Each structure stands twice: as structure tokens, then as C-alpha cells.
Structure 1
Amino acid sequence: MARGGQGLARVAVVVRAGAAPLWWLGVAAAGIGVLVPGVTGRRIGVLAGAALLIVAAGVVGCTRRGRYTALARSAARAGKHDVLQDRAVTTRNWRRGHRWWLLLAFLAALGSAFAAPAAGGLLLAGCGLGLWLKAAWIGRRERAGGGLLWVRVDWLTPTAGRPTGRTVKTYRTTGLAAGDAAPGGTRRKTPALV
């Protein structure tokens, strides 16, 4: 990064990075968990899991919105020497830094099936769904504000990796056409204008 430029990662992409692994690991754990009769029985386990999925999606989707809003309000324009990190690189870095936490969460969800079948897996899937909802909310804010939100890569620690962590002081903004991810962190359907 020449002349004082910073590496920048998309905020919405960092949020979305954990959504797919949590969702699919949760669905897999719930599917395997249904095979175990459990202490509570399958019906109660699945009903409790469905309730946990809804609650987890709501809690994860709404948590720390005030911090995101405050950081977005104080965002400065990205400099011409700043380097925008690709969506795939941001996702890969987040997943690498959290692979052991994802594995532990999956094993805990599987283990909980002996008490309440499928409940732990559906809770995990609800966390993934909540991250998707939060990324969609960030995307709506980006469209409304007319700019994409970015966070400095060196402020994202490998294990925490939260775009609202204590190390994050402010965001940077670019136009909506910058980078290879659309508002909300999804893949662009058409190539970005250069």
C-alpha cells in the first residue's frame, strides 16, 4: 500500500462471512440431531429449536445496530491510495480465523441433541440467518446513504474479526460501484464500473 494507503474490507461482507457456515452447520447438526431420541423427545426438541431459531435470528440481526450507525455517521471518504479487498479474500480470512469456533459450535449443537433433538442445530442456523438479516440491513443503509461502508483490515483481528470491535475507530466510504460486492455484501450481478 503505497503512500499511506490502507487495506479496506467491506463491512457487510465481514458480517455475511459467518452466515453461510453457521446456517449449513446448524442445518446439518439439526438433521443429525433429529435421529437421536433425546431426553425431551423429538417433537419438543424440534419445537424448541424452531423457537430458538426465530429468537436467535432476531437477536443477532438487531445486535449492535447503534454502533454500526454511529460508525457509519462518522465515516470518512476512502483515499485514492486505499486498497479495496476482494469479497472472496475477506470471506476466506474471516472463516480461517473462526474455523475452530465454528467446529466447536457444531460439536456443541450435535452434543445438545442428546438433551433436545435438533434444538442446538436450529439455534446455530438461527445465528447464521441473523447475520444475513444484519448484512441486508447494512445494505439498505448503504443504498440509502449512497455509499459503501469499509473497515480497515488491520483493525479486524483474526479471532474477533468484528466490524464493530473495540479496535475499530471509524469506517471509510466509497461510491456504490466500488469493489466486487453489491450493497449488503452479495456478489455483483454485473461487473463494477471502473
Structure 2
Amino acid sequence: MTRGRPGWLTVANIRPLWRRAGTPTSSSSTTGASFAATEKAETWRLRPQSWPTWRVATETATCLADLHHRLHALPPRLGEGEDDRILHLDLHPENVMLTSRGPVVIDWRNATEGPADLDVALSAIIIAQVAVEEAHPLASSAATLLAAFVDRVGGRVLTTLDQAVAMRRSDPALTSGERERLDAAAALITGRR
């Protein structure tokens, strides 16, 4: 994360805050697999054995919710609003490395400050996009993960869901198919699907 956009955080800016909180921020000295890589391995290796996919998804959801809670407990560096917090804006299983020291959040290029609920809603919509892509090998696991994540973060997802969908829709890295699935993903989150 080296972008110098006004109002955006850089690794250099966020690292001291996270060090004070005791949370690793960079994968430069980190070895491990992402949650998603672990989820893929567990999904294929453990199904239909004694540790079902829902347990892996539930543990992943608990960790993601905890990472959001820990991140949003940090004071903003630049923001002056009462609700401003540090936001990752791309916190999902592919961006969490599992290490011997615990989970490490990576890929901070979208980080900024703003309302914590937006960060939570973006995580939910990203997970939901995988869940509604029927051909995706992890669609079922993502649906389970989404339900568990929403359960752990409560109504926070719904307060800024429309804004999160709009942000995802404007993401130039999304394919047309991913954009087309955004409405179905939002409907899955709100229970209208």
C-alpha cells in the first residue's frame, strides 16, 4: 500500500497504530496461508468427513468479525468525525494470512478512514458475491461464511449496504459478471433472495 492519495492510509502510517494494538500489519516477514487457501484445502479435504465445512466457515467468520472489531477500535489518524475509524475496505478471507503468531491482515491498498459499518458491509458483499456465483467451487462455503459473519456483526451490515454495493460496482477491477451479481449478493445479505 504505497498510494499517496489524500486521506488514504499507507503502511507507514498504519503500522505504528497496529503495533500499539499488538497486531501484525505486513506480510513481508510473515509466512502462512490465507484463510481462503485454508478454506479451499479444508473444504475439499474434509468433506464429508467429521469436520464439516460449516465449522471452518464459522471459525473464519468469527475471526473476520474479530479482526473488524480490533481494527475499528483503533482511533483514526486523520479523520475528525466521531464515527471515523480506520477501514481496510477489502477484508475477506483472501486478505488474511494465518501465521504462527495469529492472523495477519494484508493488502492495505484500499485503506482509508470512515464509518466502521461501511468496512463490515464491504466484507459482507465481497463474500456474498462468491456465494451467489453458483459455478464457484466455494459458493456453498461462502454462503455459510456469510450467514455466520452477518450473525457475528449484527445489523451493522445493513446500515451501509447500499453504499458498499455502489463502491463495489465502481471498482474497476471487477469483471462484468461480478458487477451483474452485486444485486443478487445484496439480496442474499438482506434475506430477499
* More RCO (CA 8 Å, sep 6+): 1
Find the structure with the greater CA-based Rg.
1
Question: Structure 1-normalised TM-score?
Answer: 0.29
